[in-house]
């Protein structure tokens, strides 16, 4: 249950931030920190504006100047659908026409990524998220 998920989270953070799990459990606890405190604890590397963060990600990905930012087009769902989710049932005609795989890909990439910006390398010839 919740305790198992907390343990998994603590172990993940400890491993990826090179710290002891006991420090997280005993000193930090299950809290939400402001940026300054999170950086002091070593939970984040720093805070940047969006443009700075994108520049850092481009350098990290070694894209050079040959990249394009794309943001999937998102059809807003109602609050109820966002909270509960929507079950997708493909029709037989979609399965037979080969559109099913494309639809699943579009849902996975576009469905919940309205807050994500993707760095795309190369020529953008066919947009997945229309």
pLDDT at residue 30 in the model: 79
* Residues with Cβ within 8 Å of residue 7, at least 6 apart in sequence: none
> Rg of the chain's alpha carbons, rounded to an integer?
20
Phi-psi region of 23 (alpha: psi -120 to 50; beta: other; left: phi over 0): alpha
Q: Is 56 within 8 Å of 33 (Cβ atoms)?
A: no
Q: Which tokens is 47 given?
A: 């805070």
* Cα–Cα distance measured from residue 83 to residue 68, given in angstroms and rounded to the nearest whole number: 32
- How much is the pLDDT for 124? 45
C-alpha torsion sign, points 90, 94, 98, 103: negative
The pTM is what?
A: 0.47
Extract the residue ranges of the chain whose pLDDT is less than 50: 89, 124-125
Element (H, E) at 120: strand 118-121
Q: Which pLDDT belongs to residue 102?
A: 61
């Amino acid at each position: 249950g919740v305790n198992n998920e907390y343990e998994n989270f603590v172990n993940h953070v400890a491993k990826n931030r090179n710290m002891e799990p006991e420090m997280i459990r005993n000193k930090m606890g299950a809290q939400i920190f402001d940026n300054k405190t999170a950086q002091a604890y070593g939970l984040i590397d720093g805070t940047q504006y969006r443009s700075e963060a994108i520049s850092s990600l481009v350098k990290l990905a070694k894209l050079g100047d040959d990249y394009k930012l794309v943001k999937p087009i998102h059809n807003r769902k109602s609050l109820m659908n966002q909270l509960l989710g929507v079950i997708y049932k493909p029709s037989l005609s979609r399965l037979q026409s080969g559109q099913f795989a494309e639809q699943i890909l579009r849902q996975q990439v576009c469905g919940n990524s309205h807050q994500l910006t993707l760095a795309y390398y190369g020529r953008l010839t066919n947009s997945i998220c229309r």
